[in-house]
Amino acid sequence: MDGIHDLGGMSGFGEIVVERDEPTFHEAWESLAFGLNVLAIAQLRAYNVDEYRHAVERMSPAHYLTASYYERTLTAVATLLVEKGVVDRATLLARAGGAFPLAQAVADVAPDGVTPPPEPRFALGDRVRVREMHPAGHTRAPRYVRGHVGEVVHVAPRFSFPDHAAHGLERRKEPTYHVLFSAEELWNDAAGSGESVVVDLWESYLLPAESGSGGVEPVDG
């Protein structure tokens, strides 16, 4: 989804405030929110980490931007535990003594039908273009690189494809590629000089640069 979480490159957020000698958790409830997520994923096995990330992304944009990191965690955990039937929403409201805002409903997502080739499709030095994609569900291809051309600088091992894993679709593993983009390629006349960005991208997000078309499935070769 083209959600509020996909912040890379947006303007208007102001200065970055660094707290000296910052504690890991500022308040007791923050450590509970963190612990609840670890418990739900690792021990209750109620959902996976991709579903968790997507639940955070499904928060309403206004809530997302005003919530602290651990409020986003808490909201995602509660949303998923309600959706999975582990807890009951009405009981949660009663216990909280007020509203308990949850994330918005998950979109219906169909499998993409891609079968990754047995060997990595791209190699070091290859020029690749990020597909111009706008999926309804979870994806880890940030908007700011879609449609842009970069160079493969590292081939990482195969990892579970999040666009499927976040939606309970058939799990598959694909290589991910560290793709180097020049600032000029991404930001055009707003680019700073002597700057570049590397983004770690699943194979399905990428096309050979020469193909030129963002939306068309590449031909194996």
Partner 1 sequence: MAEPDRPAPVARRAFALREELEERGRLEPGQLEAIAQASEEQFDWRNGARVVARAWVDPEYRERLLRDGTAACAELGFAGPQGEYIVVLEARPELHPVIVCTQCSCTAWPVLGLPPDWYKSPAYRARVAREPRRVLREMGLELPESVEIRVWDTTAETRYLVLPLRPPGTEGMSEERLADIVTREAMIGVARVPAPDAGA
* Cβ 66 to partner 1 shortest distance, Å: 10
CB nearer to partner 1: pick between 90 and 219: 90
CB nearer to partner 1: pick between 136 and 212: 136
Contact 171, 164 (CB under 8 A): yes
CB nearer to partner 1: pick between 16 and 105: 16
Q: How far apart are CA 170 and CA 197, in angstroms?
A: 31
CA dihedral over 78, 80, 84, 86, signed as positive or negative: negative
* Cβ 184 to partner 1 shortest distance, Å: 12
Taking each helix axis from N to C terminus, what angle separates 49-57 and 69-83, rounded to the nearest 10 degrees?
110
Read off φ and ψ for residue 208, nearest 5 degrees.
-60, 140
CB nearer to partner 1: pick between 46 and 109: 46
Q: How far apart are CA 126 and CA 166, in angstroms?
A: 29
Read off φ and ψ for residue 51, nearest 5 degrees.
-60, -40
* Cβ 99 to partner 1 shortest distance, Å: 5
* Cβ 168 to partner 1 shortest distance, Å: 19
